[in-house]
Amino acid sequence: MPVINIDDLTDKDKAKMAVDQLKIEVKLERALVSKCCEEVRDYIQSGSEDDILVKDHPIYTYEHFALKESLSKIIEQEINPFVDQWEKAGLFPAHKIFKILGSAGFLGVNKPIEYGGLGLDFSYSVAVSEELGNIRCGGIPMAIGVQTDMATPALARFGSPELKKEFLIPTILGDKVCCLGVSEVGAGSDVANIVTKAVRKGDEFVINGGKMWTTNGTQADWMCLLANTNDGMPHKNKSLICLPMNLPGIHIARKIDKMGMWSSDTAEVFFDDVRVPCKNVIGQEGMGFTYQMLQFQEERLWGVANILTMMDNVVQETIQYTRQRKIFKQPVLHHQSVHFRLAELETEIELLRSLLYRATALYIKGNDVTKLASMAKLKGGRLAREVETAACSIGEGWGSPVTFWLAGFTGTPD
């Protein structure tokens, strides 16, 4: 075989080699998932009792369960044993964890194969998000969700091939950490009212302003930034820009302390005459508000799927605890008011799950589900508060440490 000197290759040849390599990796991942599928199918066909939901699931197939199964192993081996340590430190090693998840294909399940994704539909992202809810804190799943379903959907859908090569591929592979810059000190829910400005000077934008509550903000390699790129109408004057975070003029002002989600770094970021090439705009200039609103749909559904598992776990652990804890000569669980409360919460969780699956089923068929996704997000945020309060009060001394990681969801992003 002739020896190829990498320096003799053209950029085109190198790009082709990189894509070929990615295709091999994706094939390997698929082979693994397929093997796992067979195991899951065998298990289901062996006929254990409450498997009806698995055999006849409204949106999941064997492949969804296989993905969940292999993610669950990573969570148990690589994440959960270290959660307490990272929560105390107020930071988790995003680059290390994202590389592990990226190498196993979990950072781009619904992203195109040619950019390193698995090329599956959004229901697989929902399945992954549900499984990530088994991480024993809220901060790390949220940070992963920002990378997979909050800061990258618009880039995958509307970005140029060059931008996708520079930002999407390394993000899906876990080589780069990204963040989403929408909220500002003076504008959160009212996205149209942001003031960060990107003024065109030649073939560059000069950016001034700042972003607030930026998840992954202290560790990110790039930001999906929403900025005003002209002085027109507020819904037509914004653009989404891929902004490398190592440019001169970007200052991380502080890491914000929060009541929960401690291991996730939440930053305040300032831009002082930051220069970025105009070609870094995602899609069409001036369409940023619309792209961001579309991006929020996936973010909302992802968030609901994630919190469902956490709420489920809190209720199940409360049931276990109250079953063995005795008060007035019988288990706490056998007191009717406690039993009824927990049954009611379980019912509400299942209702929310049905809404999530319906919205997801409609979304993957190409429908606009803004209303259903927003309803699900509203209900998810409220229910998380209810579950947290109920588990805290039913468990008394035990309840507080068990539910503290739900606390961050009382202020959920978007």
Ligand X SMILES: Cc1cc2nc3c(=O)[nH]c(=O)nc-3n(C[C@H](O)[C@H](O)[C@H](O)COP(=O)(O)OP(=O)(O)OC[C@H]3O[C@@H](n4cnc5c(N)ncnc54)[C@H](O)[C@@H]3O)c2cc1C
- Give the distance from CA 167 to its chain's centroid: 17
Nearer to ligand X, 250 or 361 (CB): 250
Nearer to ligand X, 123 or 183 (CB): 183
175: how many CB neighbours lie within 10 A of its CB? 16
Question: Nearest distance from residue 151's CB to ligand X, in Å?
Answer: 8
Cβ-closest position to ligand X: 188
Binding site for ligand X (CB under 6 A): 146, 179-183, 188-190, 213-215, 258, 261, 266, 408, 411, 413-414
Question: Nearest distance from residue 146's CB to ligand X, in Å?
Answer: 5
Q: Which two tokens stand for residue 112?
A: 């195109």
Burial code (b: 16+ CB inside 10 Å, e: under 16) for 234-269 equals eeebbbbbbbbbeeeebebeebeebebbbbbbbbbb
Using CA atoms in the order 160, 67, 304, 339, what is the torsion angle rounded to 10 degrees? 180
Question: Nearest distance from residue 408's CB to ligand X, in Å?
Answer: 5
Catalytic residues: 299
Backbone angles phi, psi at 306, to 5 degrees: -70, -45
Nearer to ligand X, 232 or 411 (CB): 411
What is the identity of the amino acid at 388?
A: E
Is residue 192 within 8 A of residue 235, CB to CB? The reply is yes
Question: Nearest distance from residue 248's CB to ligand X, in Å?
Answer: 23
Contacts of 42 by beta carbon, 8 Å cutoff, 6+ apart = none
Measured CA to CA, the distance from residue 12 to residue 79 in angstroms comes to 38
Question: Nearest distance from residue 414's CB to ligand X, in Å?
Answer: 4
Backbone angles phi, psi at 2, to 5 degrees: -65, 145
Nearer to ligand X, 65 or 213 (CB): 213
Nearer to ligand X, 22 or 376 (CB): 376
